[in-house]
Amino acid sequence: MSDDSADERPVAASEAGEHEWPVELAGVTESVVTTLGPNERWNVAALGVRAPEGVGPATATTWGRTRTWRNFRERGEGYVQFTRDPVDFAEAALSVREEAEPVLESADAWVRCAVDRVADGEDGGTQWVEWELIPQDSEVERRVVPTTNRGRAAVVEATVAASRLDVPAYDRETLLDRLRYFESVVETAGSEREREAFRRVRELTDAEW
Amino acid sequence: MSDDSADERPVAASEAGEHEWPVELAGVTESVVTTLGPNERWNVAALGVRAPEGVGPATATTWGRTRTWRNFRERGEGYVQFTRDPVDFAEAALSVREEAEPVLESADAWVRCAVDRVADGEDGGTQWVEWELIPQDSEVERRVVPTTNRGRAAVVEATVAASRLDVPAYDRETLLDRLRYFESVVETAGSEREREAFRRVRELTDAEW
């Protein structure tokens, strides 16, 4: 999984056509995506980017009639960005947030992607659409030595649990138990930034635990 | 939390004395530490590095009479390293692994630290020792754009749950439920490397779930 050549890669992909992701995609990479809405502001949302299997583009799935779904359909593109900031991630996942500019300050890298609908269906009463993500342009803002913080990961997991609370297929008590556990992880291993993110999760979630 | 100057930092700390961590420490950063044993081989273990509160060195706590505790006491140092590889992390956390060389191939950076015992005590029948970690030397192998993979985080959480199975203070069924959940996250969001890591967790854990 290491990449010795990371520092030597061009920051922006060549203009000749072959645009690349400036990160190693493997499995599903949790990103933040901004898409331009009808009000000409950039909607900020969470998006899981699935690595290509063999050849072919990366894909992502939108669930339901979300703003990202609407803006992908109407604009055909979005800015996929990679941030370590747990507050930005929590707000992207759970709130309606709009910005005047497409790239968040906390983004370590962004990729402007054209999106193409390649499949759709229904699962448990929710319409889903699968999109191919075709990089058009990208920029790396900074490269660092990555670190692992259990609190940061617990914020991500908490947003997943919180967003499932109103989905009938999931057991509510199990989700609330998970939220309690992830909150305890944030208290043990998080920094002040993760604690701030968990306060946002609480504010944005209509439940008590 | 961003650090615009990351690329300009010296790779190795100056020889003048003030050695620095080549990563941003915040809250508890999960690392892998190697320590030299009496057999002159490097023991590989997991170590949570707690960021300094205000001024002062980072700290870490060892629980019980582990190899890391013994080698810290007898050698007074260890190589703290930052890896994104879930297999290396799982083996460090759950197995006895020894290497001829102190730095793992997957390490994005390492820091040779002198360690000083600054506190000790007992918690639930387990002796703990808190150590100050004083960087002596460090090297960055590569800098990249960090990414978030829920599967990778789930491997880390699974090692925490697995290592608590024999601790009476924790409810076994709750831990097994968590292992089931984290395995499902690996299946959904992990790449083949996270699935391999979870197989190692299963092999190294004396429980069925």
Query: Is residue A111 domain-resident?
Result: yes
Contacts with A30 from chain B: Cβ below 8 Å: 147-150, 189
Residues A47 and A136 in one domain: yes
What residue of B is the nearest CA neighbor of A106? B2
Task: With both helix axes pointing from N to C terminus, report the angle between B172-189 and B192-203 in degrees, rounded to the nearest 10.
Answer: 160
The CATH number of the domain where B48 resides is what? 2.30.110.10
Nearest CB to A151 within list B27, B109, B181: B27
Average pLDDT over residues B119-145: 96
**What is the DSSP pairing of strand A107-123 with strand A97-99?**
unpaired
Residues A25 and A106 in one domain: yes
The CATH number of the domain where B155 resides is what? 1.20.58
> Which of A145, A155, A183 is the mutation pick for testing B, counting most B CBs within 10 A?
A145
Nearest CB to B145 within list A23, A106, A157: A23
Contacts with A24 from chain B: Cβ below 8 Å: 144, 147
A75 or B2, higher pLDDT: A75
Residue A125, pLDDT score: 85
Q: Do A149 and B109 touch (CB under 8 A)?
A: no
Contacts with B2 from chain A: Cβ below 8 Å: 84-85, 105-106, 108, 141-142
- Is residue B165 packed enough to be buried (19+ CB in 10 Å), middle (13-18) or exposed (0-12)? middle
Query: Is residue B51 domain-resident?
Result: yes
Residues B25 and B121 in one domain: yes
Domain count, chain A: 2
Q: Do B142 and A48 touch (CB under 8 A)?
A: no
Contacts with A48 from chain B: Cβ below 8 Å: 189
The torsion region of residue B108 among left (phi > 0), alpha (psi -120 to 50) and beta comes to alpha
**Residue B53 CB contacts under 8 Å (≥ 6 apart), including other chains:** none
Residue B29 has pLDDT above 90, yes or no: yes
Residue B9 has pLDDT above 80, yes or no: no
Residues B131 and B169 in one domain: no
Residue among B85, B96, B91, B81 at smallest CA distance from B37: B96
Nearest CB to B194 within list A27, A84, A144: A27
Mean pLDDT lowest for which of A3-17, A19-33, A192-206, B19-33?
A3-17
How close does chain A come to B164, measured CA to CA in Å?
14
CA angle A100, A104, A105 (to 5 degrees): 115
Give the model confidence (pLDDT) of B195-208 as tens digits.
Answer: 999 999 999 999 99
The range of the structural domain enclosing residue A97 comes to: 6-140
Residue B18, pLDDT score: 60
Residues B116 and B15 in one domain: yes
A49 or B4, higher pLDDT: A49
Residues A78 and A170 in one domain: no
Query: Is residue B80 domain-resident?
Result: yes
Query: Is residue B208 domain-resident?
Result: no
Residue A18, pLDDT score: 60
Both tokens of B45, joined, read: 């273990």
Give the model confidence (pLDDT) of A42-62 as tens digits.
Answer: 999 999 999 998 888 999 999
